[in-house]
Amino acid sequence: MAKIQAPIKKGEAVHVSVADLTHEGKGVAKIDGYPLFIEGMLPGETGEVEVTKLNKGYGFAKLLRLEQKSPERVSPSCSVYEECGGCQLQHLSYAGQMEMKYNQVRNVMDRIAKLPDVPVHSVLGMEEPWRYRNKAQVPVGLSGGRLVAGFYKKRSHEIIDMTECLIQHEESDVMIQKVKDVCAANGVMSYDEQSHKGVLRHVMARIGYQTGEKMAVLITRTNELPNEQAIIAGIRREVPGITSIVQNVNPDKTNVIFGSKTRTLFGEDVIYDTIGSVKFAISARSFYQVNPVQTEVLYNKALEYAGLTGEETVIDAYCGIGTISLFLAQKAKQVYGVEIVPQAIEDARKNAELNGITNAYFEAGKAEEVIPAWYKQGIRPDVIVVDPPRKGCDEALLETILKMKPKRVVYVSCNPGTLARDLRVLEDGGYRTREVQPVDMFPQTVHVEAVAVLELR
């Protein structure tokens, strides 16, 4: 298909009418068939924009003046929404966000999976779409000679000093401010990316949503934490009821947050939380779903789609710390979980023990290598559950699923595009996609999770 040449110039001001939203939440307007993506505009809106960038088949523009507003437009609740890149949809009503996310899943089912007849249900949203995150991690820097902590400004490494984030648990906001203040009072210098000097890189707060337990994590460049005892005493004084204070050391020049060395400065190595009736131990570096309320909704849907009677053998590929596996183990005969991160597998085994679950077995390795080895050992799953990273399932894993022919495949996805691509592969290999259920795990942002169930034809 020929790319449309831009009928406009960079820097030109043009009048546009927005017809659609991209999966990143940008408004889409067309000028003589040439698409322009505009941050902050919604379908049905008209206005004047300035062209900022032109590519071969599409361009970008910034809003200068809004003329006709969408009825779904709302005033963002957050004072730094325009500067911060953490949320993208606070200017869109929650009903509008649900519609956008539904359309995102429906469109890829039609366009990529070529499954126009497969039912996509309405998005399962939140009653209270704020303050849902149980983990906050923010960079620390210097501004005007004082320590600041907050998210980066859009497209920059400049930190916005913020006292609250409306999608984080209130306790996280308080903890981050208190930890930052205690460190500042004890002469701890922030890390400087340019010079690779200074001490404090990030502060992280974790909250047990059901248990109320609190963990503060100080991520430092150096092994040594200056005035360590005074800092521990200060955090304990300023954050009543804190369960755990942890230091993680990351000495590298990198934008990866965590280093490999972690030590507990006070209290426990972990905090505990529950999802449904399953209890989890969460360490500083554990992967644990950040929205526990919607995680339960998502996992209950996965469990329903697995259709377990107590007689089934289930494989959970990409099992993490065993969250889905342990949900499934309550209703299955035997669950096998595989995950590439050895630390996560250790956590999964501990979590099984913590819950007295004896019918879940965990192994570290690549799903596409471990699962064929299990097949050779005679393990024949009735159900395979996959919950892959954003890039979707490895090709070799999809081939393995087609070879093993489980009765059902339950696919939990954080990226509708790769979900649709993989469903097409499984469909071509003899499966039928029965239905897809989107779940809103991240209100105010463009992300949507979905769970699909496939049956062997």
208 within 8 A of 236, measured Cβ to Cβ: no
Two tokens, residue 166: 């409306």
For residue 99, which amino acid is it? E
Phi/psi region, residue 198 (left: phi>0; alpha: psi -120 to 50; beta: rest), is left
Two tokens, residue 260: 């490999």
CA distances to 163, 173, 297, 442, 447 from 294, in Å: 26, 21, 5, 9, 13
- 414 given a catalytic annotation: yes
115: nearest Cα among 448, 413, 455, 424? 424
Neighbouring C-alpha atoms within 13 Å toward the C-beta of 425: 19
Selecting among 84, 87, 183, 414, the annotated active-site residue is 414
Q: At what angle do helices 395-404 and 367-376 cross, to 10 degrees?
A: 20
Q: What is the CA radius of gyration of the chain?
A: 24
Cα angle for residues 353, 354, 357 (degrees, 5° grid): 50
- Give the DSSP letter string of 340-378: S-HHHHHHHHHHHHHTT--SEEEEES-HHHHHHHHHHTT
Beta pairing, strands 214-220 & 244-249: parallel
Task: For residue 103, give the 3-state DSSP assignment.
Answer: helix
Residue 411 DSSP code: E
Task: Compute how many other C-beta atoms are within 10 angstroms of the C-beta atom of residue 13.
Answer: 12
Would you please indicate which residues are annotated as catalytic (active-site) residues?
Answer: 414
